[in-house]
Chain A
Amino acid sequence: MPEIPVIQQIEDVTARMMDDLQRALKKPPSERRWGMVIDLTKCTGCEACTVACKAEHKTPPGVNYNLVIKTEMGTYPNVREIFLPRPCMQCENPPCVEVCPVSATYKNEEGIVVIDYDVCIGCRYCITACPYGARSFDFGEWYTMGTPEIAPYETAPTFEYSEKRVRKDDASPIGNVRKCNFCIERVHEGLLPACVTTCVGRARLFGDLNDPNSLVSEILAERSSFRLKEELGTEPKVYYLT
Chain B
Amino acid sequence: MGKKQKSPLQTKITRRDFIKTTAIVGGTAAITSQVDLAFRRVASIEGAPHGDKVVPYPLNKAENVIYSVCLQCHTACTIKGKVLDGVMVKVDGNAYSPMNMLPHLSYDTPLEEAAHYDGKLCPKGQAGVNTEYDPYRITKVLKRAGKRGENKWQAIPFDQAINEIVNGSTFVDGTKTPGLQEIRAVQDPDLMAALKKDAMAVAGGSMSLADFKAKHAAHLNLLIDPDHPDLGPKNNQFVFQAGRIEHGRKEFGKRWLKDAFGSINFYEHTTICEQSHHIATIQVTNAYKGKGKWAGGKEHLKPDFANAEMVIFFGTGAFEANFGPTPMSELVTWSLADRNMKMAVVDPRLSKTAAKATWWLPVKPGADAALALALGRWIVENERYDANYLVNANKAAATADNETSWSNATWLVKIENGKPTRLLRPKEAGLGDADAFVVSRGGKLLVVDPNDTKNAVEGDLFAAGTINGIAYKSALQLYKEVTMEHSLSEWADLCGIPVRQIEEVAREYTSHGKRVGVDMYRGPVQHTNGYYNGQAVLMLNVLVGNAGWTGGYGGGGGHWHEDGSKAGPFNLKKLHPGKLGSFGVTLTREKWRYEQSTLFKRDGYPAKRLWFPYTGNVYQEIIPSAAAGYPYSIKALWLHKGTPGFSPPGPNPTLQAIADPKVIPLVIADDIVIGETSMYADYLFPDTAIWERWGTPHTTPAIQVKVSKFRQPIVDPLPEKVAVFGEKQPVSMEAAMLAIAEKMGLPGYGKDGFGAGMDFNNRQDYFLKMAANLAFGDKAGGAEAVPEADEEELRVFRAARAHFPKSVFDEARWKKSVGNDDAIWKRVVYFLNRGGRFESFSKAYKNEKLGHPYSGMFSIFVDNVAAGKHSGTGAHFSGLPIFEPVKDAFGKVLHQSAEEYPFQLFTYKEVTGGQSRTVSDYWAQLNIAKENYVYMNKLDSDRLGFKEGDVVKLMSLTNADGMWVLPNNNDRAVAGKVKPVQGIRPGTVGVSWHWGHWAYGAQDFVIDDSLVKGDAQRGTGLCPNAVMIDDPALKNATLSDPIGGSAAFLDTRVKIVKA
Q: Count chain A CB atoms within 10 A of each CB in B29, B101, B102, B1016 and give the residue with the most.
A: B29
State the CA gap A123–B353 with chains docked (Å).
Answer: 42
Which residues of B, 555-591, contact A by the 8 Å Cβ criterion? none
Q: Are A163 and B45 in contact (CB under 8 A)?
A: no
* A84 touches B (CB below 8 Å): no
Q: Which residues of B contact A107 (CB under 8 A)?
A: none
Q: Which residues of B contact A191 (CB under 8 A)?
A: 57, 60, 116, 118
Q: Are B30 and A169 in contact (CB under 8 A)?
A: yes
Q: Which residues of B contact A120 (CB under 8 A)?
A: 41
* B722 touches A (CB below 8 Å): no
Q: Are B135 and A44 in contact (CB under 8 A)?
A: no
Q: Are A146 and B1016 in contact (CB under 8 A)?
A: yes
State the CA gap A188–B769 with chains docked (Å).
Answer: 42
Tell me whether A198 and B93 are in contact in the complex, defined as CB-CB below 8 angstroms, given that A15-B117, A39-B337, A166-B27 are known contacts: yes
Q: Which residue of B lies closest to A44 (CB)?
A: B319
Q: Are A76 and B937 in contact (CB under 8 A)?
A: yes
Which residues of B, 17-38, contact A by the 8 Å Cβ criterion? 19, 21-22, 24-25, 27-32, 34, 37-38
User: In whole Å, how far is B292's beta carbon from the nearest beta carbon of chain A?
Assistant: 39
Q: Which residues of B contact A50 (CB under 8 A)?
A: 123, 927-928
The stretch of A86-94, A171-179, A229-237 in contact with B is A171-179
Q: Which residues of B contact A175 (CB under 8 A)?
A: 37-38, 40-41
User: Is the contact region of chain B dominated by helix, strand, or loop, or is it mixed?
Assistant: loop
Which residues of A, 135-191, contact B by the 8 Å Cβ criterion? 139-153, 155-157, 159, 161-172, 174-176, 185-186, 188-191
In the complex, how many residue pairs between chain A and chain B have their CB atoms under 8 Å apart? 337
State the CA gap A77–B986 with chains docked (Å).
Answer: 9
State the CA gap A64–B926 with chains docked (Å).
Answer: 13
Tell me whether A198 and B121 are in contact in the complex, defined as CB-CB below 8 angstroms, given that A51-B927, A156-B89, A170-B40 are known contacts: yes
The stretch of A1-9, A24-32, A205-213 in contact with B is A1-9
Per-position 1/0 for A1-41, Cβ under 8 A of B? 11011111011111100100000000000000000000101
Q: Which residues of B contact A72 (CB under 8 A)?
A: 350, 981-983
Which residues of B, 92-129, contact A by the 8 Å Cβ criterion? 92-93, 101-104, 116-123, 125-127, 129
State the CA gap A160–B334 with chains docked (Å).
Answer: 32
Q: Which residues of A contact B104 (CB under 8 A)?
A: 12
Q: Which residues of B contact A61 (CB under 8 A)?
A: 922, 927
State the CA gap A83–B985 with chains docked (Å).
Answer: 21
Tell me whether A155 and B29 are in contact in the complex, defined as CB-CB below 8 angstroms, given that A44-B333, A143-B922 are known contacts: yes
* A81 touches B (CB below 8 Å): yes
Q: Which residue of A lies closest to B305 (CB)?
A: A7
Which residues of B, 518-558, contact A by the 8 Å Cβ criterion? 549-551
Per-position 1/0 for B983-1010, Cβ under 8 A of A? 1111000000000000001000000000
Q: Which residues of B contact A4 (CB under 8 A)?
A: 847
* B8 touches A (CB below 8 Å): yes
Q: Are B126 and A77 in contact (CB under 8 A)?
A: no
State the CA gap A5–B844 with chains docked (Å).
Answer: 10
Q: Which residues of B contact A152 (CB under 8 A)?
A: 22, 24-25, 87, 133
State the CA gap A39–B307 with chains docked (Å).
Answer: 20
* B884 touches A (CB below 8 Å): no
* A129 touches B (CB below 8 Å): no
Q: Which residues of B contact A141 (CB under 8 A)?
A: 31
Per-position 1/0 for B52-87, Cβ under 8 A of A? 111101111000000000000000000000001001
State the CA gap A47–B514 with chains docked (Å).
Answer: 34
Q: Are B32 and A170 in contact (CB under 8 A)?
A: yes
* A45 touches B (CB below 8 Å): yes
State the CA gap A162–B50 with chains docked (Å).
Answer: 12
* B845 touches A (CB below 8 Å): yes
User: In whole Å, how far is B9's beta carbon from the nearest beta carbon of chain A?
Assistant: 8
User: In whole Å, how far is A181's beta carbon from the nearest beta carbon of chain B?
Assistant: 13
Tell me whether A200 and B330 are in contact in the complex, defined as CB-CB below 8 angstroms, given that A10-B102, A41-B336, A51-B126 are known contacts: yes
Question: Which listed residue (A5, A102, A117, A148) contacts B11, Cβ 8 A?
Answer: A148
State the CA gap A162–B21 with chains docked (Å).
Answer: 29
Per-position 1/0 for B931-964, Cβ under 8 A of A? 0000001110000000000000000000000000
User: In whole Å, how far is A26's beta carbon from the nearest beta carbon of chain B?
Assistant: 17
Tell me whether A202 and B1015 are in contact in the complex, defined as CB-CB below 8 angstroms, given that A51-B923, A148-B12 are known contacts: no
Q: Which residues of B contact A133 (CB under 8 A)?
A: none
Q: Are B330 and A7 in contact (CB under 8 A)?
A: no
Q: Are B123 and A140 in contact (CB under 8 A)?
A: no
Tell me whether A46 and B57 are in contact in the complex, defined as CB-CB below 8 angstroms, given that A76-B939, A175-B40 are known contacts: no
Q: Which residues of B contact A203 (CB under 8 A)?
A: 333
User: In whole Å, how far is B981's beta carbon from the nearest beta carbon of chain A?
Assistant: 6
Q: Are A48 and B120 in contact (CB under 8 A)?
A: yes
* A119 touches B (CB below 8 Å): yes
The stretch of B203-211, B354-362, B965-973 in contact with A is B354-362
Q: Which residue of A lies closest to B307 (CB)?
A: A5
State the CA gap A150–B551 with chains docked (Å).
Answer: 49
State the CA gap A168–B1017 with chains docked (Å).
Answer: 23
* A216 touches B (CB below 8 Å): no
Q: Are A186 and B57 in contact (CB under 8 A)?
A: yes
Question: Which listed residue (A2, A77, A150) contacts B848, Cβ 8 A?
Answer: A2
Q: Which residues of B contact A145 (CB under 8 A)?
A: 5, 8, 31
Q: Which residues of A contact B337 (CB under 8 A)?
A: 39, 41-42
Q: Which residues of A contact B911 (CB under 8 A)?
A: 44-47
Q: Which residue of A lies closest to B912 (CB)?
A: A47
Q: Which residues of A contact B31 (CB under 8 A)?
A: 140-142, 145
Query: Interface residue count for B (Cβ, 8 Å)?
Result: 119
Query: Interface residue count for A (Cβ, 8 Å)?
Result: 99
* A85 touches B (CB below 8 Å): no
Tell me whether A202 and B982 are in contact in the complex, defined as CB-CB below 8 angstroms, given that A6-B339, A151-B135 are known contacts: no
Tell me whether A54 and B21 are in contact in the complex, defined as CB-CB below 8 angstroms, given that A5-B306, A152-B87 are known contacts: no
Q: Which residues of B contact A140 (CB under 8 A)?
A: 29, 31-32, 37
Q: Count chain B CB atoms within 10 A of each CB in A15, A55, A176 and give the residue with the most.
A: A55
Q: Which residue of A lies closest to B51 (CB)?
A: A163
Q: Are A45 and B355 in contact (CB under 8 A)?
A: yes
Tell me whether A48 and B123 are in contact in the complex, defined as CB-CB below 8 angstroms, given that A122-B41, A148-B11 are known contacts: yes
User: In whole Å, how far is B772's beta carbon from the nearest beta carbon of chain A?
Assistant: 31
Q: Which residue of B lies closest to A141 (CB)?
A: B31
State the CA gap A187–B845 with chains docked (Å).
Answer: 35
* A96 touches B (CB below 8 Å): no
Question: Which listed residue (B27, B50, B103, B1017) contacts A118, Cβ 8 A?
Answer: B50
Tell me whether A79 and B982 are in contact in the complex, defined as CB-CB below 8 angstroms, given that A54-B927, A143-B923 are known contacts: yes
Q: Which residues of A contact B123 (CB under 8 A)?
A: 46-48, 50-52
State the CA gap A70–B337 with chains docked (Å).
Answer: 19
CB-based closest 5 A-B pairs? A163-B51, A143-B922, A147-B135, A122-B41, A81-B355
Report which B residues bind A (CB closer than 8 A): 5, 8-9, 11-12, 15, 19, 21-22, 24-25, 27-32, 34, 37-38, 40-42, 45, 48-55, 57-60, 84, 87, 89-93, 101-104, 116-123, 125-127, 129-130, 133-136, 306-307, 318-320, 325-326, 329-330, 333-334, 336-337, 339, 350, 352-353, 355-356, 360, 362, 513-515, 549-551, 842, 844-845, 847-848, 911-912, 922-924, 926-928, 937-939, 981-986, 1001, 1012-1013, 1015-1017
Q: What would 14 more interface pairs be, CB under 8 Å, given A148-B1012, A197-B118, A201-B330? A: A2-B848, A7-B845, A14-B118, A41-B333, A51-B127, A61-B922, A83-B352, A143-B922, A146-B1013, A174-B37, A175-B40, A176-B41, A189-B57, A200-B122
Report which A residues bind B (CB closer than 8 A): 1-2, 4-8, 10-15, 18, 39, 41-42, 44-48, 50-52, 54-56, 58, 61, 64, 72, 74-77, 79-83, 102, 117-124, 139-153, 155-157, 159, 161-172, 174-176, 185-186, 188-192, 194, 197-203
CB<8 Å pairs between A and B, sample of 23: A5-B306, A45-B355, A47-B911, A48-B120, A48-B126, A51-B912, A58-B89, A79-B360, A79-B983, A121-B41, A122-B41, A139-B34, A144-B922, A147-B1013, A149-B19, A155-B24, A166-B27, A168-B27, A191-B60, A197-B118, A200-B121, A200-B319, A200-B325
